[in-house]
Amino acid sequence: MNQNKQRVLLGMSGGVDSSVAGYLLREQGYDVIGVTMKVWPQDCISRAEDKCCGPQAIADARGVAHALGIPHYVVDEADQFERLVIDYFASEYQAGRTPNPCVMCNEKLKFGNLWSKAKALGCDYIATGHYAIIEHAVAGVGDPGHADAPTESESSGIIDPSYRYAVLRKGVDPRKDQSYFLFSLRQPQLRRALTPVGRMTKQQIREIARSLGLKVADKIDSQEICFVPGNDYKEFLRSHLGEKAFHRGEIYDVDGNFVGEHDGVELFTIGQRKGLPGGSARPRYVVDLDPETNRVIIGDADDLIVDEFEIDRVNWHPVAGIADPGRAIGTQGAGVSAPGYSEKIEAMVKIRYNHPGTISTVTPLENNRARIRLREPQRAVTPGQAAVIYDSDIILGGGWICRSAICHPERPAAKSKDTVMVL
């Protein structure tokens, strides 16, 4: 139980997970305040009618808050959502990358801007219904520079001021784990975050909701990006950017042969097969996008295979022990030396959310970059997506996949001067 009656701002999406999170926090003795973010401008809110940020979601969240006996507020984050998430989403496609808006929303809004609202309401923490576990390594006990350092769960409600850093783990339900979407959270964000459903399965969550008589107990989970109706990102880009903003260009194969023209590099992603010119005896896929020339490069399935790539804007978690040479990890002068750059680590790397992960050699580089060598080459490593690094169920860090020339050493070099990839 929470002996100090600490106050928590709970992000309520109107779904069953955040609803049960509110119940669990209340039972642990927290003073819970429910908040739902309104992220749609009034003139287009109908597009989000059934989404986690739409009017029905707000009504559902308000009903749950009433049933749990906790206050509920709606905060208007439409302008910030437009600037930090939707504009990012569109600009990534324009740059030939495939965005991950859920990661950005968590970092910038749910655990970012929302903290100012939490402080204004006198809250100590922000809680969500994410299926992930946040723990805190105890300062001075064991070796805090390794993943097996002794930890104590934050779910106890007792936060010792001597805790050194937060550890982010996978949720126990492998089908629902959402730790991937939280990799970019920094330590100040993780230290004030609570994820009470992380140690439970979806079935357990629904059973609790049914026992409480919550109307959202059997509400279907959304499988789409909340602001993209019908999951049709191309139509969303057309309405958001306008046709004139698309970068038209040409389609070439991996040998530099002209294949055709296209209506916008924004309309393609790595691994895409639909919408490509026909006339080939074998299926062809998008294997590269060049935003500088607006060229779309297509090839065979084998051309999608990658065994090495780099990530940038890497967020190393202290548990990984990665830092500048000679720099100590931790906080408040922990005095624990960390491995310097270029020291390789073996870890499991997920190259997209629904990827099972593959053993890789990760080499930290300067300027918040890292090189990842896959033990087993993977298909469709997509620039703009997050590559998240795990030690068992613990997140060591992660970053954003960079665009680079894709190397296929078994193929001869292309002869055409128009080739834009190294083959």
Query: What's the CATH number where 65 sits?
Result: 3.40.50.620
Q: Hey, what are 260's tokens?
A: 């055709």
313 within domain boundaries: no
Q: Going along 222-284, which residue ranges are E strands?
A: 249-253, 258-262
Strand, helix or coil for residue 124: coil
14 within domain boundaries: yes
CA–CA distance, 288 with 423 (Å, rounded to integer): 12
Which band of pLDDT confidence, cut at 50, 70 and 90, is reported for residue 280?
confident
Does 53 qualify as catalytic in the annotation? no
Task: Indicate the number of domains in the chain.
Answer: 2
Which band of pLDDT confidence, cut at 50, 70 and 90, is reported for residue 357?
very high
Same domain, 268 and 121: no
The DSSP bridge pattern shows strands 132-138 and 163-170 to be antiparallel
Domain boundary among 257, 279, 299: 299
Which band of pLDDT confidence, cut at 50, 70 and 90, is reported for residue 3?
low
235 within domain boundaries: no
Domain boundary among 299, 327, 343: 299
Containing domain of residue 271, as a range?
Answer: 246-299
Decide if 19 contacts 59 (C-beta within 8 A): no
Report the pLDDT value the prediction gives residue 242, as an integer from 0 to 100. 87
Percent of the chain clearing pLDDT 70 (strictly above): 80
188 within domain boundaries: yes
| DSSP string for residues in 288-313 | EEETTTTEEEEE-GGGGEEEEEEEEE
Buried b or exposed e, range 296-334, using 16+ CB within 10 angstroms:
bbbbbeebbbbbebbbeebbbbbbbbbbeeeeebbeeeb
Strand, helix or coil for residue 269: coil
- Among residues 111, 104, 143, the alpha carbon closest in space to that of 126 is found at 111
Taking only the tens place, the pLDDT of each residue in 196-233 is 999 999 999 999 999 999 999 999 887 778 888 778 89
Same domain, 204 and 252: no
Q: Is the pLDDT of residue 147 over 60?
A: no
Domain boundary among 299, 334, 366: 299
Which band of pLDDT confidence, cut at 50, 70 and 90, is reported for residue 340?
low
One-letter identity of residue 295: R
155 within domain boundaries: no
Report the pLDDT value the prediction gives residue 228, as an integer from 0 to 100. 83
Same domain, 295 and 175: no
Same domain, 22 and 70: yes
Other CB atoms within a 10 A radius of the CB of residue 270 amount to 25
Q: Which of 44, 226, 402, 407 is catalytic?
A: 226
CA–CA distance, 25 with 2 (Å, rounded to integer): 9
Q: What is the pTM of this model?
A: 0.85
Q: Which of 105, 123, 402, 407 is catalytic?
A: 105
Report the pLDDT value the prediction gives residue 41, as an integer from 0 to 100. 63
Does 402 qualify as catalytic in the annotation? no
Q: Residue 274 belongs to a domain with what CATH number?
A: 2.30.30.280
Same domain, 250 and 127: no
